[in-house]
Each structure stands twice: as C-alpha cells, then as structure tokens.
Structure 1
C-alpha cells in the first residue's frame, strides 16, 4: 500500500524535526520514549547477534553499511564489535549525532558511498524511501556476492494493525510512504532478483507500536493506555500466524 497524498521530496525533511519523532531524539521525555530507549538497548545487541549468525564470511573486520542509520547507535554497537562501519543518514541533525557517536564518516546519500559490503542493514527505513525501486537496485549493487541484507519493515497484516486500523502507529503517515506485508515484500524482492532466505519477527515492536497506537487513539499518554497497549502487544505476538507479526525482518541475498 502507499501513502497518498504524500509530501514532496523537498518537504519530507520537516516531518522528522518533531520532538515526537523519537528515533531521532537524544533525550527521553515521556513514558513512551523511555520504553523505546530501554528496549533499544536490548534490540541493539539482538540485531548485532543476528548479523553475526548469518554472515557467511566471518572475518575480524567485516564491512557493514547501515542505510538510514539515524543517530548511529547500531553503527556504534557494530564498530565496538570489530565491524568496519559506514552509515547513510539524510537528516542533518541525526547524521551529526551519528558521526559524533561513531567518530566516523556518515554520508547524507547512498550515492556518496563507495565500495561494496558484506552486510547492509535497513532497520525500519525502506518504508521512508521515496524512490523505492531505484534505491533497492542501488543497495543490491553495493552488496557483495556472499553478502546479506537485512530489511526490517512494519507489517500491516499484523494483529495490532488490524486492531488499531487507521490509528495504528506502524502507518506513521506521512513519514511512511510505503506499507508492506509478507506477500508484497516477497514480490518486491523477487522483482529485483533478490533471494529471500528467511523472515524473522521483531516481537518487541508489537508492544511499543501498540502502546504508541493507544496514545494516538486517546491523544495523550496514560498508565491505562500503557497497560492496554502492552496487553494488545502481547495478544499480537500470541495470536500471530507465521509472518504476521507487527514487524518483520527479511534476510536477503543476491
């Protein structure tokens, strides 16, 4: 599915300047932000282990490109664990923080990046990209022969998406321009000649997205909404059929 109407490419940037856009925020201001930041500590380690487990070439200095690296926490985690890291982040504010955090170069566009990589990661990024097909082809060209790409996106066929409908936080309009399900993502990858190796659920996302959806529904944060969101997140994971979790990671190779 697509967001329509959508902002112009020139206007998109201002929707990432809001204090409510927590993934680019450096401070935790409210209950939901604190939950996000706390769960991120666990998720960073989990993502790192996921990358290590699926690397075919396990050298001491594997190369990784994090496309849409945000404020750089995942890049920092990888660098601390021996990876040679490269980041791409279009937001000036987030990119400056990522460069400071990693003490390295973070590019503003993919066109600036040279060379190829054993690992490319897109953690909740593809849904933001205006030029979807062109960007997938560019990323594919930068993936080494035995490399692997991790694409994490929300799944609009999940239980929590069906529960909250138009108030589901996973839609996040107008920042999210594309909305994926397992069938459509599989079709998209096949179109670009990418081999889908496996699909992994991001179970923590169901809790956070449901809590944020409760906030969207009521217009404010509350303990009651927090609890109801947690309950719906638990239900989403418990009732999910294969590949119908709140967010899915697609592991792909050339």
Structure 2
C-alpha cells in the first residue's frame, strides 16, 4: 500500500515556474488560464492549467495546499450536498426557449453511451462479488447502483457534508482520500472499486490508482471515469467548459492520458468506454455554461447570454451527432484489472 509520504514533497516541487509531468517527468507547457472559480466568485482567483502534449494530460499549477482544498467545496449547491438549485426545471426550460428544449430531444436519438445503470454494473462486476468500494463516494447514490451486485459496499469521502448525506441513507462511509486511505478500508480486498468523477479531484492521480490496485482481488475490476477533455464540447468552450470546474478539478484527462495513468499505476486496461452526450444539451448544462461565460466577465448572466449559448449548443449538436466517441461524449471510463 502506497502512502502520502512523498506527496507533500512533490506538491512543494510543483510550485516552480514550469512543472514536470508526473507521467513522463518532462516539462509541461502553459495551457488554459481560468480567470476565476465561477461557483465561488467572491473568493476565487486565477488558475493556470499546464499541459503535457505527449499524453494529452493537464494539471493545475501551482498545486493547492492540502488544507486549502476543503474550501473549494464549501458552498450549498455542490451536487453531492443534495441541496436544490435556485431554478426549478420548468423555469430552466422556459429560459432556454423552444430551440433549447428541442436540442435534448434530438441529441437523445444519437445517444449510444455506456451509462452506468444497475444492469450495466451487472455486466462487469464478477459473479459472486463480496466487497465493493467507492473512492470519493459523495452522497452515496452510486453506491446504491453498483451495490446491487456485491454483498457489501463501503465508501470513502473527504467532504464531510457529502459524507453525512450518504450516512443518512444508511451507507458505510469513512473519512479519507484516494491518496490516504483509512485503515478500515485497507484491511479488506475488493471485487469492485469505483472512481466516478473523482480522479480529476486528486492531488496525485497515479498514487490514487496505485492504492486502489493494491486493494483489488485477483478477479476484481476497477472502474474509473473522468471528464473527457478531448471532446469537441471541451475544445469549443475552453476555460468556459462546464466540466472544467477549476479549482475542484486539479487534473485534466483525455482517453490517452487516462489510459497512461492507469498503466503507470500497474493496472491492465480491459475496456475504454464513453458516456454523456444528451446531458450536454439539457437546460441545466446550457444555463451553467452561459453563467460561466458571464461570471468570467464579472457580470450577471442575461437572457442574451442564454440565447447565445443555445445557438452554440445547436452548432455543437450538428458537429458531434455522428462524431467518433472520443469527440462526442463528455466523459471517458476505463475498466481495469490487476
């Protein structure tokens, strides 16, 4: 089991002017500048994403201090906190108009993603699986989904507010991180380990995957899903892409770099899957990207911003409906074994 003994040292080294890629050790180049945290505009500051072109892998540098990270999630509408958004669905649909409402219906006809349903989990989790683990379980909703196919599930979660929501649902959740797993988690082996939109939040994604690999049974599977920064939606929106979400996201993957990280951690990649097409054309996504654009310009969102975003989404739909999966879907998932 790997530990965090070298993490603080690597974090300190990363504060230099030109960081090195954890995959190759080569110098990274300056990429996107994200002017603010649009979800917390009063306390936000500019963040710089550096990029390794060889593996299409990005990271925020300088890396935040470990004790700085909890405040990134300290707002009521973060999705794992189970607090309602300020707009209800009817109001969201009204604001995007008839064209905006039509986009989701059209996109649905071209959706072929591997959605992680109860049935899908049943197709990848080994028969007779005993223990399941979700690393970064949030409010516990996913534990209930894949937990139907294992005898017992357990989660770890560093966000105390999200963990409390999960425990209220009767789930076993321990405080900890992927890089620093608690003893109760390390005492077992697991037939299914899940990272669902978690690896992008970690300080050291390779260490996180190494720790998980050490906990897999010989026949166990590890599922890891992250935002797909190779998607057309990501490229077109740049620093305004909804899934960029700095500073909560510290790492930025494409299918190639996610595979490279898994292999660097000693995992064998068995499948590369994609999901998340229709949701790029749903009201909440369109509205959020309009809000991000306005927030980064230090002003309130207007109906003109929303209408402009709807037109952007219509062009995106036309460009991606028949595109290759890497360009089409907003998320990529690997299925790995030891």
TM-score range, shorter chain: 0.7 to 0.9
Look up the match of 1:95. 163
**Which region of structure 1 is more displaced relative to structure 2, 131-140 or 225-234?**
225-234
1:2 corresponds to = 59
In the alignment, what sits opposite 2:195?
122
Please state if 1:106 is matched with 2:189: no
Number of residues paired by the alignment?
A: 244
Task: Give me the CA root mean square deviation.
Answer: 2.9
**Contact 1:203/1:237, CA 8 A, preserved across alignment:** no
TM superposition shift of 1:198: 1.1
Q: Do structure 1's residue 48 and structure 2's residue 118 form an aligned pair? A: yes
Deviates most, 73-82 or 137-146: 73-82
Q: Cα–Cα, structure 1 residues 184 and 23, in superposed 2: closer, same or farther, change >3 Å?
A: same
Q: Do 1:158 and 1:236's aligned partners in 2 also have CA atoms closer than 8 Å?
A: no
Which of these residues, 289, 292, 295, is aligned with residue 213 of structure 1? 289
Structure 2: 5+ residue stretches without partners:
1-57, 93-112, 296-300
Query: In 2 relative to 1, CA 197–98 (structure 1 residues): closer, same or farther, beyond 3 Å?
Result: same
Aligned 8 A contact 1:159 1:240 in 2? no
Moved over 6 A (4+): none
Aligned residue in 1 for 2:258: 185
Q: Distance in 2 between matches of 1:250 and 1:173?
A: 23
Give secondary structure in 1 for the equivalent of 2:163: helix
Q: Take 1:23 and 1:229, find their aligned partners in 2: how far apart are those partners?
A: 28
Pair 13,229 (structure 1): closer, same or farther in 2 beyond 3 Å: farther
Pairwise CA distance, 1:64: 1.2
Structure 1 position 221, deviation (Å): 7.5
Q: Which residue of 2 aligns with 1:249?
A: 333
Q: From 283, 295, 307, give the equivalent of 1:224.
A: 307
Larger Rg: 2
Q: TM-score, normalised by structure 2?
A: 0.64
Unpaired segments of 5 or more residues in structure 1? 36-42
- Asked if structure 2 preserves the Cα contact closer than 8 Å seen for 1:151 and 1:249, the reply is yes
